Structure 1
């Protein structure tokens, strides 16, 4: 695609965004919706439409080379991303579930399940590639130094018993004898062939020829039948044409163009930054003095007008109020008199009111309460992103949409735009300097007129009243140490680790196609692995990747992943770190056992981890076996490890994490039943239940993992049967079975003996699956969490009965 095509794609996305904004920001506020199903349907529709806009804008931002356009597109991408998170949060609060099924919405919008996948912006990694590489190099260097200093001598081999040594020697001797016997057997077979040859007669030759012809004709017939069958399947669209398995020339060209545009982005960005510096210096030198003179003249004129209108000089506006920016409205003396009269009226209104006024106010308040009761229903929550999206959309329609770029074919930056932007910044800088000078000048004028200096004292009192009490800051226990030294210590202690190169797309799973149908029949479906992938993209990767989104979107500090062993919880942790470019800290109870003993040591460890996590954000703090921290009763064998030592202090440290700190705590557990559920839910605001894979996910897992291991899938391999018999097995179990079957030797023999399903049955039979009882126990446990309780109440209709009762109790309390 060309730059013109990407500009058109941007315009199309902005058009759809404008339609959505008109629906979300109508001229008149919409009435509350009483039907929960209709309200959720409206939410889901907007959610899916925002995801489509997000996908388009992310693609445009990745390929557009114009530096100034990219900045505006980035602001819109962040706004749309934040709005998606807000709608997701609202759907969770209205449906009381982390997972939502939108089969009907996809049908209405004519979309496929792949369109629901949350796109992960590529700029999370590309714009921080140097920083991420430097951190990886630093961690690798520290690990290499630790390995070198930690094990200077070669490791000693473990002592072997006599029985083990004899067993190994016997195995090797038997293997040697077997190879020798095979060799002798092959030689004797060849000798028998040589001596067993006789001169065949004419009849035997004819019979041999007929036999060969039969075999050959049968073989050719089977080949033709197979080719005809494959051709028919390709024609019917049941099998992909082999030529499409290899990237076509058009795809290769498109990939080359994308790489070329990314190189151009870096080049144009450097030119733009240089031009910004040059234009800023030029404006400051040429227009700076004129701006300063003009401002001073306007401010002096305002001083004189106020003195003529009120008889005294005004107070100079504070820096917090905008300084002299408030003066440049150029108000005449009549307007100033009206403003002063309005202030006097406000002061008189602030005086204590009489009984009659209070009664009237009480009547009005009662009337308002009745109106609110009549308009009870479901409303959209206030948004922190809609105002920004509206401003950016207006900016596009007013400026970029109608701009003629026929002369800017190469899409380089425009100097006039830089001047307009920097002129405002320079004006702000100069205004601050002018304000300081004019405050002194105003003070001199006041002293000349009134030597008492009361106004000066009042001004000081005002300033003193505005300055509130300073909040206590967290003590820095390592103020004398550098970040590098802290990182080195954390790596040496095994608390800071290197994340694996795992992408979220590698977490394979199919879409749940029956979710909406099951819920309509009052059956709660188990989420698919695709739903888990989508939820983690929204809750973890997008907020960690964007600072703007993390500050304004609903804040999520801690997530708990619950699921049986082998469902991929650890893989998801590494995928979150890889996709968002985050650092990985390990505070698992088993990992910190014996490290930093005592209360002071524990405080120092948490301080170091959270300090480095903030300085090198985004960061993920991983707690494996999170249930150990909240044990109801600590097992005897784990008492020495003291797994509950982080219980109180970690919660305190987590409370200090603010919106600007891109730090996320992620816990994983396979046995949440052994923990105190109240403490666990208090720690983790989001609890995500990861189930065993369903049939569709298992089919995809078998197919993709066999290919990844080096296997070739043919008609002889019945994947459907494998997916059926592996019900109850997790992705980890399937990986173990595939690795045990598809060895290097088996890969070499695939040409003569293709893979079949029965080969994988024996390795699977040796593994214990996740039984139905274990899954039901996890479901029952999840129903006891705050969100699970709300879900059950909403399903049974108890919530609707409780809401009016709460209103009556509130009225009684008000009367008291």
Structure 2
């Protein structure tokens, strides 16, 4: 760990300097006049966004690697501040362009950055710092589901000793029989060749001719192998193909994993020692300096009474440290004595001295209020004081009465006498609280769109790529749910809709949000809540329990699958008994009651959003993400990823580019199903002798229905009716009109100039 300490410190220092420069530039930009040109304004916002993402990546790396507990606290504050600023800039760009998707091709070229550098990283501390609690919760949920009969463990068949011997004997006899059959077949073929040769009267070939033939074939084979090897080396040199053993983990990578595991242990140990030191040093400060602090504060307040005659209100003497003042503490601090990077006692004393002052200040304020009251009693009459108190108490009672009336039914606790464990258990047994699948956001594979800016410049709206979708899920779902500070200070997103054709990975993204943040997953789909908690009161109780558990055990994700059913224009006859619109009226009330400190996110998924009533639909889901089918670049990456994930081996015989072209119109789900159909256990065992070919996947792919152009156009037409889609169309129309007016002005100017020339 210690040899890399200088590198970690450098990452932190570089990020801090870049942040200082960026903040100074933003202050200067605010002092200037607001920019009228949308293109220039977007470029400014996008450049700041990209630079903040770079700082975010460096700070996340530094926070994960540094073991000093107090430094990590400072970096954590900066890291959360940067995350919040990224979300603010994203919100500004959405407001400016009236679109959730943005394209930075030209800006990335100017900054000389690859698209990977604007990928939003998922902070590792989201899961690492609460891993034990998540493991205990997972164990508790498994026990509940098992006892409720919702999850059954696979039974292990026990076998008697005699039966095991019999099974082994049968398998061994079968193996010997296959070997004997192969041997007898070879003998039969040799005898058959001899008989045919005798009947035809042929003699064997000349030995010299046979040797020459063998030599020609062997030399040709060797030369082909050499040519192939030279071609492979050339492609590796050019970077067109990965080197051999590219997928295998190197020794340096294995060593890095060991160091990371050891670093985590050191971080945990230092954090525990730091927390103990906080309590111990605070108690010592109270004992040693408490009386002096108390006397000093009393003298200061008495002096205020004498000089200013203040009768109400008290000054706050606790010092206020700005962020840069905190980071400046570490900039020139000598840490030669602290080689293992443990806690710094002097900094703990400075920090805890402020807390001790604040605690003692509360006691001093109470004493000084009493002293002030005694002074006022000397001057004023006691009756006047009692009358004032009576008036104040009446006002307080009136205010309390008003607040009680204002409280709605959603704020009432309908289960005051029940523990959170009992509510958690009931929701799990009812199937409303489910286990999230372990899926990382990085598993949602997709390539960056390289032509977005070029298409928008010619007034063509590009289809977003899967990489863009992944970015939005990280920004709107994972970062706010993972960090309490980010959720409270960044633009609040309470509900998000994922709309797109079947198989584009909507449910996978829901599970990825839960996996990356350690969130609970509640299933409020119409099909899942049908028949549960019947009646109006039952529905009220169900949502109360769900939201109560979701808030107390945050972060939490409330998922509504096929959410268009909750907002049906007209309920089909076959689904009337299910009552799919139960949540339509009551759900917005519970969402409205969510506050910034409640890390609860509603996520809806739909394949047919056009079946829903648009106005209440868009009123609930403030963020609507339209997920398209994958483009060629994403399909190329997907085929590789899914084949390797399912045990396949990529060779030259398998033309991935051909698969990507022929699978145009098919989704990730179609590709996954085709790969799983082909790569059976038997086919995987044959792979070393019989490499995979593209034609094998075509049969399975051809049996599935792709996403046709008509369906894609239907989704586009529906999205154009959403609030953001309407705003985008309106903005484009205004820009076109402005362009036409400019063109008319130029043409008019040219005509007048030509008339003047003729007159002259």
**TM-score, normalised relative to structure 2:** 0.88
Matches within 5 A, 1:645-664: 645-664=582-601
Instruction: From 334, 340, 351, give the equivalent of 1:421.
Output: 351
Secondary structure, in 3 states, of the residue corresponding to 2:491?
Answer: coil
**Per-residue deviation at 1:12?**
0.7
Instruction: From 418, 430, 440, give the equivalent of 1:503.
Output: 440
**Per-residue deviation at 1:402?**
1.6
Describe the shift of the 1:251–1:188 C-alpha distance in structure 2 as closer, same or farther (beyond 3 A).
Answer: closer
Deviation by residue 1:319-338 (Cα, 9 ceiling, x = unmatched): xxxx3537x99xxxxxxxxx
1:572 alignment counterpart:
509
Q: Distance in 2 between matches of 1:637 and 1:615?
A: 38
Describe the shift of the 1:38–1:635 C-alpha distance in structure 2 as closer, same or farther (beyond 3 A).
Answer: same
Describe the shift of the 1:399–1:800 C-alpha distance in structure 2 as closer, same or farther (beyond 3 A).
Answer: farther
Instruction: From 472, 475, 481, give the equivalent of 2:407.
Output: 472
Shifted more, 254-263 versus 769-778: the winner is 254-263
1:215 alignment counterpart:
217
Matches within 5 A, 1:140-289: 140-147=142-149, 187=184, 190-194=187-191, 197=194, 203-242=205-244, 244-289=246-291
**Per-residue deviation at 1:214?**
3.3
Deviation by residue 1:547-578 (Cα, 9 ceiling, x = unmatched): 01101111111000000000000100000000
Secondary structure, in 3 states, of the residue corresponding to 1:623?
Answer: strand
Describe the shift of the 1:181–1:394 C-alpha distance in structure 2 as closer, same or farther (beyond 3 A).
Answer: closer
2:472 alignment counterpart:
535
Instruction: From 304, 312, 315, give the equivalent of 2:311.
Output: 315
Q: Distance in 1 between matches of 2:215 and 2:683?
A: 33
Structure 2 runs not aligned, ≥5 long: 157-176, 739-760
**Per-residue deviation at 1:391?**
3.1
Matches within 5 A, 1:576-587: 576-587=513-524
**Per-residue deviation at 1:248?**
3.4
**Per-residue deviation at 1:151?**
12
1:73 alignment counterpart:
75
Instruction: From 299, 310, 324, give the equivalent of 1:393.
Output: 324
Instruction: From 554, 560, 579, give the equivalent of 1:642.
Output: 579
Q: Distance in 1 between matches of 2:153 and 2:108?
A: 58
Shifted more, 252-261 versus 226-235: the winner is 252-261
1:48 alignment counterpart:
50
1:63 alignment counterpart:
65
CA contact (8 A) 2:119 2:471 kept: yes
Q: CA RMSD in A?
A: 2.8
Q: Distance in 2 between matches of 1:21 and 1:800?
A: 37
2:712 alignment counterpart:
775
Q: Distance in 1 between matches of 2:511 and 2:307?
A: 67
2:368 alignment counterpart:
438
CA contact (8 A) 2:665 2:707 kept: yes
Instruction: From 115, 118, 123, give the equivalent of 1:116.
Output: 118
CA contact (8 A) 2:557 2:603 kept: yes
Shifted more, 652-661 versus 191-200: the winner is 191-200
Shifted more, 627-636 versus 187-196: the winner is 187-196
CA contact (8 A) 1:793 1:799 kept: no
**Per-residue deviation at 1:81?**
0.1
**Per-residue deviation at 1:458?**
4.6
**Per-residue deviation at 1:315?**
1.5
Describe the shift of the 1:196–1:109 C-alpha distance in structure 2 as closer, same or farther (beyond 3 A).
Answer: closer
Q: Distance in 1 between matches of 2:736 and 2:125?
A: 44
**Per-residue deviation at 1:767?**
0.4
Shifted more, 658-667 versus 462-471: the winner is 462-471
1:137 alignment counterpart:
139
Deviation by residue 1:651-671 (Cα, 9 ceiling, x = unmatched): 111111110000000000000
Shifted more, 612-621 versus 480-489: the winner is 480-489
Describe the shift of the 1:452–1:583 C-alpha distance in structure 2 as closer, same or farther (beyond 3 A).
Answer: closer
Describe the shift of the 1:289–1:95 C-alpha distance in structure 2 as closer, same or farther (beyond 3 A).
Answer: same
2:97 alignment counterpart:
95
Secondary structure, in 3 states, of the residue corresponding to 1:427?
Answer: helix
**Per-residue deviation at 1:249?**
3.3
CA contact (8 A) 2:304 2:310 kept: no
1:690 alignment counterpart:
627
Deviation by residue 1:96-130 (Cα, 9 ceiling, x = unmatched): 00000000110111100001110110000001111
Shifted more, 784-793 versus 752-761: the winner is 752-761
Instruction: From 615, 620, 627, give the equivalent of 2:552.
Output: 615
**Per-residue deviation at 1:255?**
3.0
Shifted more, 233-242 versus 114-123: the winner is 233-242
Deviation by residue 1:202-247 (Cα, 9 ceiling, x = unmatched): 8554444444333322322222121121122223332222255434
Q: Distance in 1 between matches of 2:493 and 2:154?
A: 45
Q: Distance in 2 between matches of 1:700 and 1:28?
A: 42
Shifted more, 444-453 versus 786-795: the winner is 444-453
**Per-residue deviation at 1:293?**
2.1
1:795 alignment counterpart:
732
Secondary structure, in 3 states, of the residue corresponding to 1:147?
Answer: coil
CA contact (8 A) 1:65 1:264 kept: yes
**Per-residue deviation at 1:516?**
0.3
Describe the shift of the 1:456–1:108 C-alpha distance in structure 2 as closer, same or farther (beyond 3 A).
Answer: farther
Q: Distance in 1 between matches of 2:4 and 2:436?
A: 36
Secondary structure, in 3 states, of the residue corresponding to 1:325?
Answer: coil
2:684 pairs with 1:747: yes
**Per-residue deviation at 1:183?**
9.0
**Per-residue deviation at 1:277?**
1.2
Q: Distance in 2 between matches of 1:642 and 1:233?
A: 61
Q: Distance in 2 between matches of 1:49 and 1:615?
A: 36
Q: Which has the higher contact order (CA 8 A, sep 6+)?
A: 1
CA contact (8 A) 1:586 1:621 kept: yes
Q: Distance in 1 between matches of 2:633 and 2:55?
A: 28
Describe the shift of the 1:278–1:208 C-alpha distance in structure 2 as closer, same or farther (beyond 3 A).
Answer: same
CA contact (8 A) 2:146 2:152 kept: no
CA contact (8 A) 1:61 1:70 kept: yes
Deviation by residue 1:594-627 (Cα, 9 ceiling, x = unmatched): 1111111111111111110001100000000000
**Per-residue deviation at 1:256?**
2.6
CA contact (8 A) 1:596 1:605 kept: yes
Matches within 5 A, 1:510-525: 510-525=447-462
2:559 pairs with 1:628: no
Secondary structure, in 3 states, of the residue corresponding to 2:480?
Answer: helix
Describe the shift of the 1:316–1:503 C-alpha distance in structure 2 as closer, same or farther (beyond 3 A).
Answer: same
Q: Distance in 1 between matches of 2:123 and 2:251?
A: 26
Matches within 5 A, 1:341-420: 391-396=322-327, 398-420=328-350
Structure 1 runs not aligned, ≥5 long: 155-179, 307-312, 318-322, 330-387, 802-816
Deviation by residue 1:669-698 (Cα, 9 ceiling, x = unmatched): 000111111111011000000000000000
Shifted more, 213-222 versus 705-714: the winner is 213-222
2:616 pairs with 1:679: yes
Secondary structure, in 3 states, of the residue corresponding to 1:555?
Answer: coil
2:665 pairs with 1:728: yes
Shifted more, 603-612 versus 293-302: the winner is 293-302
2:10 alignment counterpart:
8
**TM-score, normalised relative to structure 1:** 0.82
CA contact (8 A) 1:14 1:393 kept: no
Describe the shift of the 1:149–1:542 C-alpha distance in structure 2 as closer, same or farther (beyond 3 A).
Answer: closer
Describe the shift of the 1:701–1:148 C-alpha distance in structure 2 as closer, same or farther (beyond 3 A).
Answer: closer
Shifted more, 54-63 versus 262-271: the winner is 262-271
**Per-residue deviation at 1:62?**
0.6
**Per-residue deviation at 1:392?**
1.6
CA contact (8 A) 1:716 1:756 kept: yes
1:161 alignment counterpart:
none
Describe the shift of the 1:514–1:414 C-alpha distance in structure 2 as closer, same or farther (beyond 3 A).
Answer: same
**Per-residue deviation at 1:271?**
1.1
Deviation by residue 1:739-761 (Cα, 9 ceiling, x = unmatched): 11111111122222211111111
